[in-house]
Amino acid sequence: MAGSRSISEATINGDDNGIDLPKTNAWKDFLALIKIGIVNSNLITTFTGLWLALHFGEKSFFSNLDIVFYTLIGSSLIIAGSCAINNYIDRDIDPLMERTKDRPTVTGNVQPRKVIIMGLTLITIGTIFLALTTLTAVVIGLVGVFSYVVLYTMWSKRQLVSNTIIGSISGAVPPLIGWSAVDGDLSIMAWSLFLIMFAWQPPHFYALAMRRVEEYRAANIPMLPVVKGFETTKKHIILWIVSLLPLPFLLTSLGIPFLILASALNVGWLVTGLYGYKKKDDMKWAKIMFVYSLQYLTILFVAMVIVTLI
């Protein structure tokens, strides 16, 4: 349940002392609390898992619109609720980081008690929606919540340099939720989607961590670039991209055109990384790798849907 980052906000002049305060309202605060960017990006992978399960199960999309609705609403709500709880837990370190200092839990726009209640309520309602599909979808959804809130946010994020890898479990869950909502017997293809999402996240978030290394250092978060430095982080990014290379071959049922596209995306990411690996401008390299990762994920999962329509 990990993906794109927080919403940027315009600022206005706050008071006579010239303090800049976030220009916000209740709706913007709500979207920031649930991390709408993460919710939206995870919806893409959830829908892809659901779509492929319908396609390979030879089930009509329009005849199963109720399942589609329950799945997308349910998964969105549990992700949103988990993100709200993440905001509640991290409210002590968020003021130390530039990209999180304007969150409602930091500015005081929303009381912490209301945030935790909202988070738990969203997770509960989302679980009820998933229960209208299959028990497997419920179990996987709750595993995602537990891994993000407990294993990542409450435990590994502040203590382990491997926090990104542990956090990747929750980020890889959405396509499994989508698939299991249609077919509770998860196939190799469903687990292949999980593996792709799991392997995609470390290079994506390591690149982000390189760009935000001083913020993580100030917040005492043991991200890989903070603890091991840029050179080690760059090596890990390359190794994780290499691990993606064989995964498209688990999806041969999607056809040769998809296999070629996915392999090209993987090779392109690897070549991009190796090309700029020895350059001195690590920040520029990290930005390029981060942007590529975002485009990679969108193109790959949208392509999975498109090739089934051709």
Domain segments of the chain: what residues?
11-306
In angstroms, the CA 112 to CA 94 distance is: 13
Res 7: pLDDT = 29
- CATH of the domain spanning 11-306, picked from 2.40.70, 1.10.238, 1.25.40, 1.10.600: 1.10.600
pTM: 0.90
Question: Which pLDDT value is given to residue 98?
Answer: 86
10 Å Cβ neighbour count for 310? Answer: 7
Which tens digits make up the pLDDT trace of 175-204? 999 999 999 989 999 999 999 999 999 999
**Tokens 């994780």 belong to residue:** 240
Min mean pLDDT across 37-41, 66-70, 96-100, 292-296 is at: 96-100
pLDDT in tens, 231-279: 999 999 999 999 999 999 999 999 999 999 999 999 999 999 998 877 7
CB atoms near residue 260 (< 10 Å): 11
Q: Two tokens at 190?
A: 């469903």
